[in-house]
Structure 1
Amino acid sequence: MSIERDPGEKAFLKRLGPGLITGAADDDPSGIATYSQAGAQFGVNMLWTVVLTFPLMAAIQAICARIGRVTGEGLASNMAHVLPRWQVHGIVFLLFIANTVNIGADIVAMGAAARLVLGWGETLFAILFAAGSLALQVFVPYHLYVHVLKWLTLALFAYVGVLFFVQIDWGSVILATVWPQISWTRETFTVVVAILGTTISPYLFFWQSAQEVEDEKLEGAGPLRDHPEAAPPELSRIGFDTYVGMAFSNLIAFFIILTTAVTLNRAGITDISTSAEAAEALRPIAGELAFLLFSLGIIGTGLLALPVLAGSAAYAVAELRGWSLGLEKAPQEARGFYGVIALAMGLGLLMLFLPIDPIKALFWSAVLNGVIAVPLMIATMIVASNRKHLGEFAAPPRLKVMGWLATAVMAAAALAMFLL
């Protein structure tokens, strides 16, 4: 007998889509490694960063989603309408490089997590994860694959479960969140830039914008620029979906930092540079089940993040080149688009065989994202503020203020890291 869902529950779930998936994909193995290092190195004194980034991240993602839904085109296409093409080519090139490094770091971490759980097969499982993810992207239509991505967001609850195995002084946690005790050194700013880069990540901008376009085409609704009467409910849905997704993302980030702070940092383990290393270190402190949850969470979040990383690069390149694109299309209908996905995954997979230290790759891919995000955010805000291009749907004052504030914070943190 089938169980009928409550109409309110159905309405709630229907309003969640690109924003939820984007937010969940933000907590990829690179993010887990970064948050783990922050918690191990600085204890609870880095919890303030995820509180700070929530409104900034939500604003910039809402702007990107809005641009896609209003115009019916992805972020790269919109940039090409407003900015010189050579600048957009440079932006897309930076995005592809950052995403490829991030893909490689995530694949390495997923293989390492599989080895931790099973005791063997690191390279084999890394290849299988990459191949499986690529096959799903290429051969499963978007309207089916999107449900797989939504279910994979549940993997993030592993990091909430870990907290049940450790003792926490919540009074101290709240105090440290609002009044942290840290010294502002280059090391501190490097970790802050890494947290900002893995939280406000360039690939998320392009992915959420592109998914709004995909959903609009599936529904046959048309861009809001051509159907302004549909704008109020659609923009409301985008805001709800984005803020729920980003709140979910930052809540999980908070728990990862907290978990490693009250276990690893408290035990004197302050140098954790990969998510797999963090899982291994948790075993003797928090127990076997906590270790298992943390490890399986790495694999689940990696499977969620890989298509977002590869897909966002493919959308950006295909939009700029004017190619047929979209995860709903068959491979023969969008060869260039799927070719970019395969290229990004293949180049990322090479990190398994190159003399690159995987222990640092995850963390530094987040730092790279933090630096590259600055010019991408500037370009995004220029597009969002352009009334000639977006007309009445240009970003309202509140979003513009928050978007430029997010850009300024990212730029200031990256500059401080280089100058100190």
Structure 2
Amino acid sequence: MKAASIRKALKVLGPGLITGASDDDPSGIATYSQAGAQFGLSTLWTALVTFPLMAAIQGMCARIGLVTSQGLTATIRQHYPKPFLYLILLLSFPAITLNIGADIQGMGAVFHMVFPAVSVSVFCIVITFLLMIIIIRYPYQKIASILKWLCISLLLYIIVPFMVDLRWEVVARNTFLPSMHFDKMSASIIVAILGTTISPYLFYWQATMEAEDMVHRRIVVDKKVLNGMRTDVNTGMLFSNIVMFFIILTTGTVLYPAGIRQIDTVDQAARALEPLAGKLTYLIFATGVLGTGLLAIPVLAGAQSYMLAETLGWTEGLDKKFAQAKPFYFSIIISLLVGLLLQFSGINPLKALLYTAILYGVTAPVLVAVILHIGNNKKIMYNNTNSWFSNFLGIITLVVMTAAASILIWFQLS
């Protein structure tokens, strides 16, 4: 496909594509890699199950942003008790901050793997300050166009499985016939997969970006706009789940049969592939980590700053200049610096990524319940409340994530 054709296709898509692609960040890659290395292909079915669930929830968030012309946090602040809002922020902020730090650390480790003469810490510092400059220097429209192009880096993961021998009948069986084990390790990885796939920070980002996109395009919400939003969101979520599927497929096909069951760092996942699947596979995997990190960290930091700004009534927006929204941009800077400190804390990066995903999995049910309530509130959504099918998928999402989190807590306490 020519570059002009790609640009045309990306122009049609918007916040949904960026949200879906940013979901496959180093945290997601680490979680899916661990799932494949530890359990082989037995978790492939999760990609099939999570697609309609995450598409439904992200679609609700997008509709909330379009109809209310504001982010999810602002909507909660306006229509719900403040203590409830503070509780949600308290649940969300630690996971997002840890996610930022783990992604920075993971990218630094991969850069060090490619250029071993430079330490991981130096790369982490450079990445952090480079992202600060990009986020502060460029307006939202420019950042969005950069993020769309970074989405292409995720296509690299679809190539890798075709570079190794595959038994497609085994792949099909594990995709369409779910297999589960009732034990602590299995529960942890299922909650981690659910948490990194249906992540709370994506709820905030989706609603806010839809609201900002609507303001920039000066559109009136009608059936055509809602249908376009639905196409954008579904495309982004499908893209995300396809990449997830192929990462599990790659590590489950290459690492698991070789007896590599434990991946301790993100770069180790890439290194483990080199002797088994070739240097090109290893480089592709490493490049994907770097591309997705550059895509996801601005989304993570931006989502957290929007949440804080909407709670405290600050002037907000990535389309604003630094002088127009100093508190908003300072919160982004602080979140990146706090995340950078993870490199110097001695915390294992992959464990941090997995803990992040599990924390998301435990806290997400609360937010899903709130989103369902908002989506059905006529005082907020007027005539654009959820359809019965969206509610059906939303309730299933709530039940599945609550059950998985409850099982994990039960194993931790037993």
- TM tier, smaller: over 0.9
The reply on whether 1:24 has 2:21 as its aligned counterpart is yes
2:335 to 310, 333, 344: 344
The one-letter code sitting in structure 1 at the alignment partner of 2:349 is P
1:48 to 23, 45, 49: 45
RMSD: 1.5
Contact 2:68–2:380 at 8 Å: present in 1 too? no
2:104 to 98, 107, 111: 107
The one-letter code sitting in structure 1 at the alignment partner of 2:190 is V
Match of 2:79 in 1: 82
Cα distance in 2 for partners of 1:313, 1:393 equals 27
Q: Deviations over 1:140-190 (max 9, x none)?
A: 011111110000001111211222321111111001112244422111011
Match of 1:395 in 2: 386
The reply on whether 1:274 has 2:272 as its aligned counterpart is no
The one-letter code sitting in structure 2 at the alignment partner of 1:412 is A
The one-letter code sitting in structure 1 at the alignment partner of 2:29 is I
The one-letter code sitting in structure 2 at the alignment partner of 1:334 is A
The reply on whether 1:200 has 2:198 as its aligned counterpart is yes
1:132 to 130, 133, 151: 130
Match of 1:92 in 2: 89
Match of 1:256 in 2: 247
Identify which range, 397-406 or 200-209, moves more after superposition: 397-406
Identify which range, 389-398 or 15-24, moves more after superposition: 389-398
Cα distance in 1 for partners of 2:268, 2:162 equals 20
SS of equivalent to 2:117: coil
Cα distance in 2 for partners of 1:402, 1:331 equals 40
Match of 1:151 in 2: 149
The one-letter code sitting in structure 2 at the alignment partner of 1:169 is R
The one-letter code sitting in structure 1 at the alignment partner of 2:211 is V
The reply on whether 1:190 has 2:188 as its aligned counterpart is yes
Cα distance in 2 for partners of 1:47, 1:5 equals 34
- Superposed displacement of residue 111, structure 1: 0.5
Contact 2:264–2:348 at 8 Å: present in 1 too? no
Match of 1:231 in 2: 222
Contact 2:25–2:292 at 8 Å: present in 1 too? yes
Contact 2:375–2:386 at 8 Å: present in 1 too? yes
- Superposed displacement of residue 400, structure 1: 1.5
SS of equivalent to 1:392: coil
Cα distance in 2 for partners of 1:116, 1:349 equals 19
- Superposed displacement of residue 61, structure 1: 0.2
After the TM superposition, which residues 376-391 of structure 1 pair with which residues of structure 2 at under 5 Å, given as runs? 376-391=367-382
After the TM superposition, which residues 150-189 of structure 1 pair with which residues of structure 2 at under 5 Å, given as runs? 150-189=148-187
Q: Deviations over 1:309-332 (max 9, x none)?
A: 000001111111111100000011
Cα distance in 1 for partners of 2:4, 2:111 equals 36
Contact 1:36–1:273 at 8 Å: present in 2 too? no
Contact 2:30–2:350 at 8 Å: present in 1 too? no
TM-score with structure 2 length normalisation? 0.96
Q: Deviations over 1:292-349 (max 9, x none)?
A: 1101110110000000000000111111111110000001111111111111111100
Match of 1:224 in 2: none
Match of 1:332 in 2: 323
- Superposed displacement of residue 211, structure 1: 0.7
2:314 to 323, 333, 346: 323
Q: Deviations over 1:15-51 (max 9, x none)?
A: 3110000000000001000000000111110001111
Cα distance in 2 for partners of 1:276, 1:406 equals 32
After the TM superposition, which residues 29-40 of structure 1 pair with which residues of structure 2 at under 5 Å, given as runs? 29-40=26-37
Cα distance in 2 for partners of 1:10, 1:237 equals 18
Q: Deviations over 1:32-90 (max 9, x none)?
A: 00000000111110001111000000000000010001110100011112221111122
Q: Deviations over 1:379-419 (max 9, x none)?
A: 11111111122111121221122112111111110001111
SS of equivalent to 2:392: helix
Cα distance in 1 for partners of 2:351, 2:370 equals 29
1:4–1:263 Cα change, 3 Å: closer
Match of 1:410 in 2: 401
Identify which range, 11-20 or 300-309, moves more after superposition: 11-20
- Superposed displacement of residue 10, structure 1: 7.4
SS of equivalent to 2:41: helix
The one-letter code sitting in structure 1 at the alignment partner of 2:313 is G
Contact 2:20–2:237 at 8 Å: present in 1 too? yes
Aligned residues: 409
Q: Which residues of structure 2 form unaligned runs of 5+?
A: none
SS of equivalent to 1:265: coil
Identify which range, 385-394 or 49-58, moves more after superposition: 385-394
Cα distance in 2 for partners of 1:140, 1:337 equals 15
1:272–1:68 Cα change, 3 Å: same
1:57 to 54, 57, 68: 54
The one-letter code sitting in structure 2 at the alignment partner of 1:419 is W
Cα distance in 2 for partners of 1:183, 1:25 equals 30
Cα distance in 1 for partners of 2:217, 2:164 equals 46
1:92–1:133 Cα change, 3 Å: same
Match of 1:305 in 2: 296
